[in-house]
Amino acid sequence: MMKELNLMQNPYQDDKVIDACSIFGVMDTSGKRFSGEGVIRAIANMHDRGNGLGGGFAVYGLYPEYADLYAFHIMYLNRQGQEKVEAFLREKFHLVHTEEVPTRLTPNIVNPPAVRRYFLEVGDARPEEQSADDYVVGKVMEINTGLEDAFVFSSGKDMAVFKGVGYPEEIADYFCLEQYQGYLWTAHGRFPTNTRGWWGGAHPFSLLDWTVVHNGEISSYGINRRCLEQYGYQCTMQTDTEVVAYAVDLLIRKHGLPVEILAKVLAPPLWSEIERRPPGEQKLLRTLRQVYGSLLLNGPFTVIIAHHGEMIGLTDRIRLRPLTVGVKDARLYLSSEESAIRLICPDLDDAWIPAGGEPIIGSLKNPLQPGAAAGREKVLTAVRKI
């Protein structure tokens, strides 16, 4: 049986690990928008890391005409689900515009759900004491847990997630992604392991403008989920990565922690390493483990986390999943494989593999400058602050 399984996963008996998912991200830190054609080619170059049961993209800066409105992307399994959700949206929001997300016939995309997008303003239904973002999070959770046959899978401003069952290049073709432009793109090719492949379970996972693509396995999913449920988050997409998106929203948006501290919560140093740190740093790291121990991500992982103005790469503390960083002028690249970066940018200023648990941060507030030394220095400056 094991021999048959090995032949299925590795039919040519080579030494390439193909059951590990693929992730890719590129950000122009000057804010310049660009087509997704290169991103699609890059993620397709890692085709063998997936199996066609999940692919997806996140794009930032693609809806400038509706930049101040929340853009909901919702998938529907039937007409009844759509009618219920649209009645709910009209009751709870001011619906400015809605349309079907454009698609084209793609041979290997079969039985897709209907996908529509809604551009919304938070209206008078929001309680005065509640922030607009908290209100939107609450309504997303309400739809995804209380209304059948519908899932909100994207809910941020001037950004969107496009995902489904298929290889990522097929999903890009299906959603006509070559027609969009943004200043930040992330992409994912999935190889489901512990959870089934379905449209809602494809990556990226998103809440507000936070998106996460992930390679690996979150074996701490149970305790992570129970912790997040105490803060009102409900996990409905039936896969482990969802907890990462909600943890990021909780720690950065609600608790106000910087990215560098987020990294020390999700991928903290080993206790033996903490004991060798200076006293002040020991105190900080011990406090984080005591307060946020239930949000530590156990198991092998590499994630690319994005939101408006920032893209973050992070691996587990002993780097059991790969991540390569590339810099070219104002652009920052993150990828499972360097080959995917070199395919679309062969003349990089610099490329390297970060240490485990070390966040790689690209920011509109701290744009990269031409030159290898300047590029690496800019990316790593924020990391060393902690």
* Cβ–Cβ under 8 Å, residues 149 and 76: yes
DSSP labels for 85-111? HHHHHHHHEEEEEEEEPP----TT--S
Helix axes 79-92, 132-146, angle to 10 degrees: 150
> In terms of C-beta density within 10 A (0-12 exposed, 13-18 middle, 19 or more buried), how is residue 55 classed?
buried
Q: Which of 204, 167, 194 is nearest to 303 (CA)?
A: 204
Task: Count Cβ atoms below 10 Å from residue 364 Cβ, excluding itself.
Answer: 16
Q: What is the H or E stretch that residue 328 is in?
A: strand 324-328
Q: How far is CA 189 from the centre of its chain?
A: 12
| Catalytic residue status for 21 | yes
User: For the chain, what's the residue count?
Assistant: 386
How far apart are the C-alpha atoms of 33 and 29, rounded to whole Å? 10
Instruction: Say how many CA atoms lie within 13 Å of 337 toward its Cβ.
Output: 20
Nearest residue to 167 (alpha-carbon basis) of 210, 244, 106, 218: 106
Of 21, 227, 235, 345, which is the active-site residue? 21
Token digits of residue 324: 């390569």
Residue 160 has φ and ψ, to the nearest 5°, of -160, 155
Q: How far apart are CA 172 and CA 44, in angstroms?
A: 10
Residue (of 249, 145, 242, 245) closest to 201 by Cα position: 242
Determine the number of helices (DSSP H) and then strands (DSSP E) in the chain. Answer: 12, 18
Active site residues: 21
